[in-house]
Structures are given as C-alpha cells and as structure tokens.
Amino acid sequence: MKTNSELQKDVQDAIKWEPLLHSAEIGVIVKDGVVTLTGTVDSYIKKTEAEDAAKRVAGVKALVEDIEVKFPNSLSKTDADVANDALAALKADWSVPDEKIVVKVEDGWITLEGELPWNYQKEAAKRAVKYLKGVKGVINNIKIKSEVHDKIEQKAVKNALRRSSIDDSDIDVSVSGTTVTLTGVVNSWYAKEEAARIAWKTPGIWHVKNELAVDYEYAF
C-alpha cells in the first residue's frame, strides 16, 4: 500500500530516472491515485516521456497532464515548416501508408486524420512525427477500418491476453461486430494500456473500448 506522499515520490523518482528529464522542472501532485503533472519543457518528446514514466509507476490510477511545451527561439518553426517535416517523416516510415493520411498543423500542434487498416500503423504515424522539432503536440484522429472481414472471436482475444505478461484474471472481453470491449480490473495503468494494445492486434477489428478500471491498495 502507498500513501499519497509515497506515490508522489515514486512518480518524481521515475521522471528523474529518465535521461531526457534529469533537468526538467516537472511538478507532481497526487490525490488518491490521481497524478497531475505540471511544468514547462522545451520539447514535445519530453512531455510524453514524463507522461509515460508516470504511467509505469505502480499505484497510478489516472493521469492529468498539464505540462506546457515552450521552445527557445532556436527551436521554433513555422506551421508550414512543421507540416512539411511531418509529411517527409510519414513518407520515410515504411510502416505508414502516408498517402492515406492528412496532416494539419496549427500553432505547432499536428493533427493526423484519415483511415488505416491497422492500429499499429496509426501508432507508427504518431511516432514518426512526435520527435520533430517545432512540434508542441500530436492529435491522432486516424480511424481504423480493417480490410480483413474475419469474424472476431472472443476466445482469440482472451487467449492473446493470457499469453501476455499482464495479469488477465480479472479482465472480461466482449465482442460486438468489429468492436472489442474490455471491462474488469487491472493493477496498473501499464496493464490497462497493454491490454488494449493486445486487443488492437485482432484481425477485423475497428474499435477497442477500454473500460478497464485500475485498482490499487492505498494507505490513507
């Protein structure tokens, strides 16, 4: 069991452990498992690194991210430059069907739109652009429209979860058409996201509803 102060220290230590974040000024506020991150960083990748580090800490039930990205003048770029760099990065990534993706940029924020057959391609598209200079954030609005028409088998999804490293004993899987819904309880934010990532690999899938709750014992 962890108190709020113990969880706060664990999250702070996890953030400091990341090489990119050694000198970053990131505040951590904790209340009953809900972690709020605040502060200012000079790149979007540092913002996402802090978020990922916090999610991996045992006891984090939910994350509120309030980190602002502010560039020094030497790193600032026009939206047109960011858009051109994003298009080039998508084209260079072999796993991304870039011709199916529309890129919009406003005030350093990249919005990705379009339709792709697999979720891994959607995630690859985001990875391709989030490291670019001048990016303040990425909104991934790409939709999944599978080209596979196999019927989704509930048992296949459950077996995939069982093969994984997460504890699936309290995870329930339901299937409706092209949608897989995950309900139940897991013991970490990592397990919740990992369960969804595994479900997204199902042939024929269009949607994953991740309704898993994160449960952890706290000492108040």
Q: What is the pLDDT along the chain (220 residues), one digit of tens a residue?
A: 688 999 999 999 999 999 988 777 899 999 988 999 999 998 899 999 999 999 999 889 889 999 999 988 766 799 999 999 999 999 999 999 999 999 999 999 999 999 999 999 999 999 999 999 999 999 999 999 998 887 888 999 999 999 998 999 999 999 999 999 999 999 888 899 999 999 999 999 999 999 999 886 654 4
The encoded tokens of residue 207 equal 């949607």
Residues 6+ apart with CB under 8 A from 8: 28, 29, 30, 35
Backbone φ and ψ for 204, nearest 5 degrees, come out as: 90, 0
The model's pTM: 0.83
The encoded tokens of residue 4 equal 């709020």
